[in-house]
Every structure is written in C-alpha cells, then in structure tokens.
Amino acid sequence: MTLLNPRTEERSRHAFRRYLNPFMVTLWRLGLGPWVNSWPAVSGRIMVIANVGRKTGCKRLSPVNYAIVDGEIYCVAGFGAVSDWYRNVLANPNVEVWLPNSWWRGVAEDISDDPRRLDLMRQVLIASGFAGYVAGLNARKMSDAELDAATRSYPLLHIHRVLACTGPGGPGDWAWVWPLATLALLPLVLRKRKKSR
C-alpha cells in the first residue's frame, strides 16, 4: 500500500518489522489491544494475526490493519507479497486473529481476484487510519482507477472465522505483569510519600 520509492519502502518495511510490530504485539500481549483500537480514525483498526512460520514451524505474531465488512474480516499485506506473515499464511492458511474484543481461529484466503476487491481494499485502507496516509494513500478521495493502480500488487485476504478461542496463549497472556509491576512499585511510592511528610 505504498507510493514510496523502493528504497524508502524497504526502510519502512524494516522499521515496521524491527520496531513497530514488536511494540504493537507487546501491547496486545499486555492486554492493551482494546486501548490500541480506541481511536481508529487515527491509529487505525489493528488486529494481530498468529500463524506458523513456514521455515521455523514456530508461532508468529503480526499486527495488521483490518476492516470488518458485513461481519467478515479483511486485511491487506501492506508491503506486498514479500511480507513474511503473508508468505506464512500461503504456506499454512490456518491462523488465529486477535481482535479488540475477541479471539478466533480461522482460515485465511487470498481474494485478490475477487470482483469486490477495490471496495474491500478501500474499506481496509480507510480503517487503517494514519498508516494509509503514511503510505501516500487517501482511500477516501482516490478514484477507483487510482486506487487500483496504487494497490494492484498488494494481496487482499479474507479471514474466515471458524472457532472462538479462550484460555492461555492469546491476547493478554502477559497481563500478569500489571499486578507484579504494581507490587514492585508500591514500596517506592509508599517510601516517597513517607519522606514527603
């Protein structure tokens, strides 16, 4: 989803993969997924896709922008077919999705050839908040021809929800940190209050 030159796009992809994506996943694991999505017009609608690494066989977590259209989940591989999470999904379409208020097992399907592609792509880009604008795209104002030309190489996916998930290993699995941090900081706060008297 970018109109950036290839060098800038590669730098952006590296920055997302190295810094922003791990930060976003950490927020989700700390139970802050709903907070991340509290201002979708700016921050965008963000979910986490959990899939299996095609080389390692290990669980991989990737934050992606998404839109829900007619109750169905759609997302775009924003850096194109080179995106690691997208290649993992091609190798094994069984995924989990962490939404702000739910957690699902599902099956990812590339629907880049769907006749509704442009409309769905537009909905995902609008739901992506600042990310679309950073990539140089204003899906609210672009014509269908402009949008098609700018996003033709970016895969569009439909996540078919199969089964609701519960239990350990999902969003908020690090939420235990909050009470521990509170207990660790409580003596410092009490000591400071005692000194100020």
| Position 1 in a domain | no
The answer to whether position 54 is within a domain reads: yes
- Residue 59 included in any domain: yes
Q: What is the pTM of this model?
A: 0.84
Domain presence at residue 15 = yes
Report the interhelical angle of 144-151 vs 117-127 (nearest 10°).
80
- Which CATH number covers residue 112? 2.30.110.10
List of residues 6+ apart from 45 with CB closer than 8 A: 37, 65, 66, 67, 68, 127, 128, 129
pLDDT tens profile 85-95: 999 999 999 99
Number of domains in the chain: 1
Task: Give the model's confidence band at 2: pLDDT under 50 very low, under 70 low, under 90 confident, else very high.
Answer: very low
Residue 168, domain member (yes or no): yes
96 assigned to some structural domain = yes
Inside any domain, residue 75: yes
Give the structural domain span for 13: 6-195
CA distance 100 to 35: 8
Local confidence band at 182 (pLDDT 50, 70, 90 cut-offs) = confident
> Is 79 inside a domain boundary?
yes
CA 6 from centre of chain: 22
